[in-house]
Amino acid sequence: MTINRQLAALYVMAACIFGCKQPEVNNKVDEKKRGIQQPETDTMIAANDTVEPIQIASWQIFEQFDGKYALETAMLEKEPLKTRISQLLGKEEASFSERFDVTPPVEVEGPILYNQGCRRHYCGTDEAAIAVDMNRDVVYVGIAVNGKAKLYGERHDSAYPEKLLKWKMKFPLN
């Protein structure tokens, strides 16, 4: 009788061992079917950081435009400037571009790249200006329509460079 009890106990242990493992496999199969994935062995949960990384553009190539004309260098078509102007101005981009018909040479003074332009035969009323603070990675634009100027700054930055502010002051309708 002791042998029967030992066999019975062994049978119960084997049933428990095999029986306990089977539902785990079935649960994983069911979870996969439902699109649920269990973490491997790491139970750490990644939390979102409150710091948002900002990609800073390299403006080094733009320093070579100092003393050259924006149209001959296609400066406004170079990245990241092209995309950033488009994002900053939206529907006003066309107005900005048509006011860069006649331009003086580009100026780079310290960290500030600056240029301005006007529509042919409408200088003094229909103009545009651009300033890039290359250290702070911020693009600023000014557009004058019929003698009234408006300034734009990325990320709503209103610390406009001095040259851009002087440009705006020449329009009496401000």
Q: What is the pLDDT of residues 65-119, one digit of tens each?
A: 999 999 899 999 999 999 999 999 999 999 999 999 999 999 999 999 999 999 9
Task: Please give the tally of structural domains in the chain.
Answer: 1
* Distance from C-alpha of 68 to C-alpha of 66, rounded to nearest angstrom: 6
Helices marked H in the chain: 2-34, 70-73, 81-89, 93-98, 162-169
| Res 84: pLDDT | 96
Two tokens at 60? 């080094």
85 assigned to some structural domain? yes
Helix (H, G, I), strand (E, B) or coil at 170: coil
7 assigned to some structural domain? no
The predicted model scores a pTM of 0.67
22 pLDDT above the threshold of 50: no
99 assigned to some structural domain? yes
77 assigned to some structural domain? yes
Range of the domain at 138: 60-169
What lies within 8 Å, CB to CB, of 60 at 6+ separation is none
pLDDT in tens, 133-159: 999 999 999 999 999 999 999 999 999
